[in-house]
Structure 1
Amino acid sequence: MFRQVWTHPDDRKFLKVVWRSRSTLPLKLYQLKTVTYGLACSPYQAARVLNKLAEVEGDRYPLAALVVKKRFYVDDVLAGGVNIKEVAETCRQLQDLLAQGGFTLRKWCANDPSVLQHIPQEFWGTSPQLEIGRSAITKALGLLWNPRTDRFGFQVPSLQKLDVITKRTVVSEMSRLFDPLGLLGPVVISARMFVQGLWAKRLDWDEQLPAHENRWWQAFRDELEQLKQITVPRIQATENKID
C-alpha cells in the first residue's frame, strides 16, 4: 500500500498554526504532524502523491497511470478511449491503482454505463446531468456534461443586479468565467479586451465606470445567460485539447 499520513519531523517546523480558543487567553503555537488540506502546499502535495503513485504502480496499471498523470485536475478526472473495452479496462485499472494509495474515486459517470461494470454502483453518479466528477449542483471547472447526449454545457455565474459597476466589479465577475477547454474564447477575449481598456483609462479600482463602459458591461452581463443554450459534443470539445 502507498500511503503517507504523517509529515517528516524535519518538515513540521514549516507547518505551524497560531491558536487560542478565547481572545483573553495567550496565543499558543502548534506544529501540524499530518498532511493537511487547505495549506498553500496542499495542491502540490495532492498532485505529487498521485504522480508518485502512478510511477510506483504504473507497470501494473499502465492505462490508469496515463490517466493519473495527464487527466486529473485536483480531484476531478476526465478520460476516455477508442472503444468500450479499452475504457472499461481503464476504469478497472484506475479503481485498482488508486486503491493502492488508499483512495476511492466516486461519482463515476460514462456515456455508456457498460464501461462501469467493474465499479460498485454506490460509487456511480446518479443524476442524469452531472458536472464533471461531481453532483449536478457542484461546480467543476465551469463545465457541465450530459452523459445521455454526450455533450458539454457551461456553468454560467449568477450575477446580481448592480447600480454601480467599478473596475473591481468587472475583474471579479470576469474571473468567474471558467473556460478550461477554450470553448468560450470569443466571450472571454471580449471581456479581457474590455478590462484592458479600463486600465488604459487609468480608472481606480472602486471608481464608477463611465456611462459608455457601464452600458457595455451591463449588456455583457445580461447576455451571459445565453451561454446556457450552447452545448458542444464532448468528442469534438476534447479532441486535441487534453493530451
Structure 2
Amino acid sequence: MESFGGNRATEHVRRRNTPKLPDNKLMALRRLEGLKKRLLRDPPLCQRYAEEMQLLLDKVYAELIPHNELHTRPHVSWYLPHHPVINPNKPEKVRIVFDCAAECGSVSLNSQVLQGPNLNNKLLGVLLQFRQGSVALMVDIEALFHLVKVAPEHRVALRFLWWPEGDLQWTSLAYWMTVYLFGGVWSPSCASYALKRTFLDHRDVCPDNVVDAQRNFYVDDLLISMQSADDGKRLAEQLRHVTSLGGFRLTKWASNSKEVLESIPESDRHKEVKEIDIERKPFPTERALGVRWDLEKDQMAVVIKHFEQGGSVTRRDLLCVICPVYDPLGFLAPFLFRAKVIFQEECRRKKGWDEAISDSNEVQW
C-alpha cells in the first residue's frame, strides 16, 4: 500500500529543524546482548521470538539493510532495541516490541519525532453510535500499523540488530523496518490518516453510509450498528471491499445477529464466535473497546472486582475495587462517585494504607 502516513511524516520533518541524532549503535548492541542471555535461558521463548522475527522479514515488514546504505546519513540513523512481550491471557503468543523510547544521551527517537494530530474518533461517540441500531457489528483491522509503509528516506531511523536466521551464534546484522511501529508516537496519526484516505479516495465505489463508517473506527477497531440484518450483511460486504482497496484486512468479526455472522467467512470471524455452533449454542461475551458486550442478550456490562469481606476494610481495599473499573459510558457513575468520596475522606484522615477505615465510612462502603 502507498505510504500515506509516510508522506505525512515527510511533511512533519520538513517543518521541523530536527537536531542530529547521536550514534546509539553501542546502546542497541548492549540491549541485544541482554536479549541474547534471556533467550538462551528460555529455549521455547527463543524459538517463538525467532519465528516472529522471521515473519516480519517474510512479510517484508522488515528487511536487511543494503550494504551501500549502512553508512549513509549517519546523523539521522537510529537503532531500535527490541524485546519480547507476552500477554498473560495469551501465553502462547509472543509480540516483538521495538523500544522507540530507549534513550541515548537523554535522546530517544520518540522525543525527536513529531506526534502528529490526533485523528482518532472520540471513544464515547463510537460507543454511543454502536448502540443506535438493533444489529451491531464489531471488527478489527489486522495489524493496522504494519500495513502502512514508511517512506524509504525515513527507514534509516528504524534500524535494528538481529541474528541471521535467528541463530544466536552468528554475528548480528543491521535491518530496518519498512512499516510503522506500535511504540512510535507518530504511528497512530499516520495510520489513522492512511485509513481515512482509503475511504475518501474510494468514495466513488461505495455508498455514503460506507464512507461515513470511518467515523465508527477507534484506531483499529470498528463498532457500528444498523437497523436490520440485511443492512448489516450489505455493510459488512462493502466494508471488506473498500478497506481491501487500501491494503487493509478486516478480521475478528462479531455481531449480535446470527444472520449477519453466517454471511462472514468463518476464517474472518472472532475466535470465540468461530468456535460455536451459530444455530444452537448461545453467543459468548466479547470486549467492545474494553466494555463487556453480551452478544446473546445484546447488553453492555462493566466488570467489578469482587470484594471479599475478611476483617476490617482498609484504604487499600477501597482502591483495589475502584481503580480497575473501566466505565467510559458512565453506567456506574452514581455508585463510583459515592465510593470515591469515601476514599477521599479516608485520605484526609492520613491513616496507613492497611489501617481500618472509620466505622461510619465502613457502613457507607
TM-score by length of 2: 0.45
Change in Cα spacing, 1:184 to 1:56, as seen in structure 2 (3 Å) is: farther
Query: What corresponds to 2:287 in structure 1?
Result: 132
What letter is aligned with 1:67? A
Is the partner of 1:212 in helix, strand or coil? coil
Is residue 245 of structure 2 the alignment partner of residue 100 of structure 1? yes
The correspondence of residues 24-173 of structure 1 with structure 2, limited to 5 A, is: 29-30=78-79, 31-32=157-158, 34-61=179-206, 62-69=208-215, 71-116=216-261, 118-127=263-272, 128-132=283-287, 140-141=289-290, 143-157=291-305
Could you tell me whether the CA contact under 8 Å between 1:2 and 1:53 is conserved in 2?
Answer: no
Q: CA RMSD of the aligned region, Å? A: 4.2
SS, match of residue 186 in structure 1: helix
Residue by residue over 1:188-210, the C-alpha shift from the partner in whole angstroms, topping out at 9 and shown as x without a partner, is 322333344356x2849xx4266
Task: Note if 1:187 corresponds to 2:335.
Answer: yes
Change beyond 3 A, Cα 1:102–1:178: same
Q: Is the 8 A contact 1:64 1:94 kept in 2?
A: yes
Q: Does the 8 Å CA contact 1:47/1:74 hold for their aligned counterparts?
A: yes
Cα distance change of structure 1 residues 24 and 64 upon mapping to structure 2, 3 Å threshold: closer
Deviation at 1:24, TM superposition (A): 11
Could you tell me which residue of structure 2 aligns to residue 178 of structure 1? Answer: 326
| Identical-residue share of aligned pairs (%) | 21
Where in structure 1 are there 5+ consecutive unaligned residues?
Answer: 134-139, 221-243
> How far apart are 1:154 and its partner, in Å?
2.7
Native 8 Å contact 2:304 2:321 kept in 1: no
- The residue identity in structure 1 corresponding to 2:287 is I
Question: Is the CA contact 1:106–1:124 (under 8 Å) kept in the aligned structure 2?
Answer: yes
Q: 1 CA distance for matches of 2:258 and 2:187?
A: 34
Q: Please list the CA deviations of residues 176-198 of structure 1 after superposition, one character each: whole Å capped at 9, or x if unmatched.
A: 21112222222332233334435
CA contact under 8 A between 1:132 and 1:144: conserved in structure 2?
yes
Aligned CA distance change for structure 1 residues 132 and 211 (closer, same or farther; 3 Å): closer
1:2 touches 1:100 (CA, 8 Å); kept in 2?
Answer: no
Residue 170 of structure 2 is aligned to residue 22 of structure 1: no
- Give the secondary-structure state (helix, strand or coil) at the position aligned to 1:22: helix
Does the Cα contact within 8 Å between 2:313 and 2:356 map onto a contact in 1?
no
4+ residue stretches of structure 1 with deviation over 4 A?
1-10, 157-167, 169-173, 213-220
Highest RCO, 1 vs 2 (Cα 8 Å, sep ≥ 6): 2
CA distance change for structure 1 residues 86 and 2 in 2, over 3 Å: closer, same or farther? farther
Structure 2: which amino acid aligns with 1:64?
A: V
Number of corresponding residues: 205
For the pair 1:212 / 2:361, whether they are aligned, the reply is no
With over 3 angstroms needed to count, the CA separation of the structure-2 counterparts of 1:172 and 1:149, relative to structure 1, is closer
The runs of 5 or more residues in structure 2 that have no matched partner are 34-76, 80-156, 159-176, 273-282
Cα contact 1:131–1:145 (8 A) shared by 2:
yes
SS at match of 2:292: strand
The 3 A distance-change label for structure 1 pair 78 and 40 is same
Distance 2:320 2:204 in 1: 45
**2:240, 2:334 → 1: CA distance?**
38
- Give me the whole-angstrom Cα distance separating, in 1, the residues matched to 2:189 and 2:363: 38
Look up the SS of the partner of 1:47 in the other structure.
Answer: helix
Match of 1:177, SS? coil
Structure 1, residues 147-196: CA drift from partner, whole Å, max 9, x if none?
Answer: 222222333347899999557x8667534211122222223322333344
Does structure 1 conserve the Cα–Cα contact (< 8 Å) formed by 2:4 and 2:190? no
Question: More strand per residue: 1 or 2?
Answer: 2
Whichever residue aligns with residue 156 of structure 1, its letter is I
Say whether the 8 Å CA contact 2:315–2:355 is kept in structure 1: no
TM-score, with length taken from structure 1: 0.63
Structure 1 49/23 Cα, relative in aligned 2: closer, same or farther at 3 Å? closer
Instruction: Sort the Cα spacing of 1:194 and 1:83 in 2 relative to 1 into closer, same or farther, 3 A.
Output: same
Larger Rg: 2
Alpha-carbon distance between aligned partners in 1 of 2:184 and 2:301, rounded to the nearest angstrom? 32
Farther-moved stretch of structure 1 (120-129 vs 158-167): 158-167
Match of 1:226 in 2: none
Whole-angstrom CA distance in 2 between matches of 1:102 and 1:215: 60
- The letter for the 2-side match of 1:54 is F
